[in-house]
């Protein structure tokens, strides 16, 4: 498999996480126009599938579902459960994207740190230590940034772009699973 420099860059960005067109447009175009098949074959060898959303401009890797009667490969990408606060923020951001798409002509959904904090505080236990609460909110925002679902705007330290890949990860099934976990949490808390 021969890849040119831009295809190699796209491959590395995919291995690191969600690859957005805006991260490197030259590598994105190479992947879409010339190297998609080679890259898909490359990742398939190691049990990964290339998922592309050309309209929204992002790509990511996911584990190929393996048949039980075939020799199993070890998983290269482990799924991990998100904390309650991170899951909650993802749900709130997903709802914000839906509202934004219905009401705005702009190309990107933006939210401020203050709006995130206000939304999270509605669901978090009341505590009297404001410094601790702010640290928890900052930590949650940072984790969602690391997942690739938020991007701090260069023009404002207090504003974030909600990245479109969130829609692929927080789908109807994910929301349903989260609702069930939230109900369990409520029942445990009040029993």
Mark whether 103 and 15 lie in a shared domain. Answer: no
Mark whether 112 and 150 lie in a shared domain. Answer: yes
Mark whether 89 and 58 lie in a shared domain. Answer: no
Q: What is the count of structural domains for the chain? A: 2
Mark whether 95 and 186 lie in a shared domain. Answer: yes
Report pLDDT for 60: 95
Q: What is the pLDDT of residues 126-183, one digit of tens each?
A: 666 788 888 999 999 999 999 999 999 988 889 999 998 998 888 777 777 777 777 7
Residue 76 lies in a domain: no
Residue 143, C-beta contacts closer than 8 angstroms, at least 6 positions apart: 82, 83, 86
Confidence of residue 191 (pLDDT cuts 50, 70, 90): low
Residue 79 lies in a domain: no
Average pLDDT rounded to a whole number, residues 118-133: 79
Mark whether 97 and 186 lie in a shared domain. Answer: yes
Report pLDDT for 7: 94
Mark whether 112 and 145 lie in a shared domain. Answer: yes
Mark whether 93 and 174 lie in a shared domain. Answer: yes
Mark whether 92 and 128 lie in a shared domain. Answer: yes
Residue 77 lies in a domain: no
Sign of the alpha-carbon torsion through 33, 2, 147, 61? positive
Residue 68 lies in a domain: no
CATH of the domain at 141: 1.10.10.2260
Mark whether 151 and 110 lie in a shared domain. Answer: yes
Find the domain containing 39 and state its range.
5-63
Q: Is the pTM of this model over 0.85?
A: no
Secondary structure of the chain as H, E, C letters: CCCCHHHHHHHHHHHHCCEEHHHCHHHHHHHHHHHHHHHHHHHHHCCEEEEEECCCCEEEEEECCCCCCCCCCCCCCCCCCCCHHHHHHHHHHHHHHHHHHHHCCCCCEEEEHHHHHHHHHCCCCCCCCHHHHHHHHHHHHHHHHHHCCEEECCCCCCEEEECCCHHHHCCHHHHHHHHHHHHHHHHHHHC
Residue 161 lies in a domain: yes
Residue 57 lies in a domain: yes
């Amino acid at each position: 498999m021969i890849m040119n420099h831009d295809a190699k860059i796209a491959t590395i960005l995919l291995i690191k996480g969600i690859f957005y067109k805006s991260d490197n447009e030259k590598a994105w175009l190479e992947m879409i126009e010339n190297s998609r098949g080679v890259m898909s074959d490359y990742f398939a060898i190691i049990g990964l599938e290339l998922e592309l959303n050309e309209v929204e401009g992002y790509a990511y890797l996911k584990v190929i579902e393996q048949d039980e009667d075939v020799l199993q490969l070890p998983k290269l990408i482990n799924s991990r459960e998100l904390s309650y606060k991170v899951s909650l923020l993802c749900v709130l951001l997903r709802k914000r994207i839906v509202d934004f798409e219905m009401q705005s002509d702009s190309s990107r959904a933006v939210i401020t740190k203050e709006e995130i904090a206000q939304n999270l505080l509605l669901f978090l236990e009341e505590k009297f230590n404001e410094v601790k609460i702010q640290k928890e909110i900052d930590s949650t925002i940072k984790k969602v940034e690391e997942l690739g679902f938020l991007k701090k705007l260069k023009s404002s330290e207090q504003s974030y772009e909600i990245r479109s890949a969130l829609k692929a990860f927080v789908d109807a099934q994910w929301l349903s699973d989260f609702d069930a976990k939230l109900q369990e949490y409520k029942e445990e808390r009040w029993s």
